[in-house]
Amino acid sequence: MADTITYDVVIIGGGPGGYNAAIRAGQLGLKAACVEKRVTLGGTCLNVGCMPSKALLHASEMFAAASGEFAHLGIEVQPKLNLPQMMKQKGESVTALTKGIEFLFKKNKVDWVKGAGRIAGAGKVEVTGEDGKVTTLEAKNIVIATGSEPSSLPGVAVDQQRILDSTGALSLAEVPKHLVVIGAGIIGLELGSVWRRLGAKVTVVEFLDRITPGMDAELAKTFQRALTKQGMTFQLGAKVTGAKTSKKGVTLTWEPVAGGASQEIEADYVLLAIGRRPYTEGLGLETVGVTPDKRGFIETDHLQTSTPGVWAIGDVTYGPMLAHKAEEDAVACIEMIAGKYAHIDYNLVPSVVYTSPEVAWVGKTEEQLKAEGRAYKAGKFPFTANSRAKINHETEGFVKVLADAATDEILGAHMVGPQVSEMIGEYCVAMAFRAASEDVARTCHPHPTRSEALRQAAMGVEGWTMQA
């Protein structure tokens, strides 16, 4: 007979959405279970996403610096790539992080129920463990946090040997001679950068006539120029029509979106990175009358599905597919379940691309403001005029601030440059407090720092930029 355990809340999925929800529930004194079928907690982000990709981005950036910039700084070294060690340290960091979530579960009295969860009617989740044993969990509230998986492309079958998705591209045993990336989005450009820095020729094939859709167009142009300078090649406006694999590699066929003859590219590896889709396989949504939309997303209103007591957070529902957005959803969802007030401003969820230079933004792009017919002023400051960037020889890029023409409220901040991932938070806080660009412009920043560029860009809104 199956065991039955009763909880206040059962969360399905142990990624940034699920684990943050479970921990917050524990903190608020709710009896919580988190169902996760992977052998480790942390979901896509910790296991095969944010963290391993950042580990390889960091290590490959060091390798590239040792191979090039170091000599200019008067440090002469002859770096030799030890790929197995690079992968090993990545794995060790990932293990430490996933164990950290296990520790936090114990600390907050959250039960990790290992196995695949399936909703089996109102307030009921059945968990099938690896040994086939079924445990039934009962709870007034079920939170779906099952995340997403890579989107597929007809004719390009991922085999993780020659045709990879992001998971395969994070654990290659050799540096590709020629890596072809399908999709000039965040995964393609981050992982393309890793392998380019380690010596691969990298060609990016993109359907649209620009890279990174959704990013402010001026930022995207500067970003593409920087990547091109690093040796990445772009084939924009290209529709991939098929891929043929052999033992040695892949022949990819594509045709211009605008029309024209079909063409071929030879590669030893192909990375398919054309987006991610929500993951709800075998979840039993039909048992509670929840129907995903056409693209597979679970529709929610303030994170509640159409069925009372069933909630959805993170990648499986609407909004940007980002770990920190999943975390925002998680905390708000549990606080609402606990009867508290919760609020999320999705306009203030920042985005970052962790390449070199980095790209970061929050709020509206110029294109969005124009489409909305909103009058705005822009202030811009290049890193070539920032003293810290200059002495560090990292002068590529700029900071741009967009402010309402009448009220001066900051509507968006966009930056491409050195370590801007660590700087965007300042604009998130300013915008959360509905600051005017003048508030940032009149706030003293330490000198010499790259963060002075944030202030100078804000000063630029009223035309009184000073540094040069």
Least separation in angstroms between residue 196's CB and ligand FAD is: 16
Provide the residue count of the chain: 468
Least separation in angstroms between residue 235's CB and ligand FAD is: 22
Q: Judged by CB under 6 A, which of 37, 162, 364, 455 binds ligand FAD? A: 37
- Tell me the one-letter amino acid at 215: M
Least separation in angstroms between residue 86's CB and ligand FAD is: 16
Number of residues that bind ligand FAD (CB under 6 A): 37
CA nearest neighbour of 190 among 89, 67, 61, 44: 61
Residue 174's SS3 state is coil
Q: Are 215 and 223 in contact (CB under 8 A)?
A: yes
Residue 206 site contact among ligand NAI, ligand FAD, none (CB < 5 to 8 Å, cut-off depends on kind): ligand NAI
Q: How far from each other are the two terminal CA atoms of the chain, in whole angstroms?
A: 75
Residue 13 site contact among ligand FAD, ligand NAI, none (CB < 5 to 8 Å, cut-off depends on kind): ligand FAD
Task: Decide if 324 is catalytic.
Answer: no
Backbone φ and ψ of 150, nearest 5°: -65, 140
Secondary structure letter of residue 301 according to DSSP: B
Q: Which is nearer to ligand FAD, 137 or 322 (CB)?
A: 322
Least separation in angstroms between residue 354's CB and ligand FAD is: 6
Q: For helices 50-67 and 186-197, what crossing angle results, to 10°?
A: 40
Least separation in angstroms between residue 264's CB and ligand NAI is: 15
The first and second tokens of residue 82, run together, are 């030890």
Residue located via tokens 């004719």: 155
Residue 182 site contact among ligand FAD, ligand NAI, none (CB < 5 to 8 Å, cut-off depends on kind): ligand NAI
Query: Can you tell me the distance from the alpha carbon of 241 to that of 243, in angstroms, rounded to the nearest whole number?
Result: 7
Residue located via tokens 């002075």: 452
Residue 291's SS3 state is coil
The helix (run of H) or strand (run of E) holding residue 281 is: none
Query: Rule CB under 6 A: which of 166-225 touch ligand FAD?
Result: 166, 187
Secondary structure letter of residue 125 according to DSSP: E
Q: Judged by CB under 6 A, which of 26, 49, 183, 350 binds ligand FAD? A: 49
Residue located via tokens 């010596």: 199
Contacts of 30 (CB under 8 A, 6+ apart): 8, 9, 334, 337, 338
Q: Judged by CB under 6 A, which of 30, 32, 50, 180 binds ligand FAD? A: 50
Q: Which is nearer to ligand NAI, 111 or 190 (CB)?
A: 190
| 326 interacts with ligand FAD by CB under 6 A | yes
Give the interface segment with ligand FAD, choosing from 43-51, 99-107, 215-223, 235-243 (CB under 6 A). 43-51
The first and second tokens of residue 116, run together, are 């695949």
Burial of residue 55 (CB within 10 Å: 0-12, 13-18, 19+) is buried
Contact string (CB under 6 A) for ligand FAD, positions 337-366, x = contact: -----------------x------------
Least separation in angstroms between residue 336's CB and ligand FAD is: 17
Binding site for ligand NAI (CB under 6 A): 153, 182-188, 190, 205-208, 213, 240, 273-276, 320-322, 352-354
Q: Which is nearer to ligand NAI, 125 or 180 (CB)?
A: 180
Q: Judged by CB under 6 A, which of 9, 18, 215, 298 binds ligand FAD? A: 18
Q: Which is nearer to ligand FAD, 39 or 261 (CB)?
A: 39
Residue 358 site contact among ligand FAD, ligand NAI, none (CB < 5 to 8 Å, cut-off depends on kind): none
| 33 interacts with ligand FAD by CB under 6 A | no
Rounded to 5 degrees, what angle do the CA atoms 439, 345, 302 make? 160
Least separation in angstroms between residue 187's CB and ligand FAD is: 5
Please report, for residues 73, 128, 197, 427, 454, the alpha-carbon distance to residue 448 in angstroms, rounded to integers and kept in the order given: 19, 57, 29, 19, 12
Q: Are 254 and 239 in contact (CB under 8 A)?
A: yes
Catalytic residue positions, numbered: 447
Residues in contact with ligand FAD by the rule CB under 6 A: 12-18, 35-38, 43-45, 49-50, 53, 116-117, 145-148, 166, 187, 279, 282-283, 314-316, 321-324, 326, 354
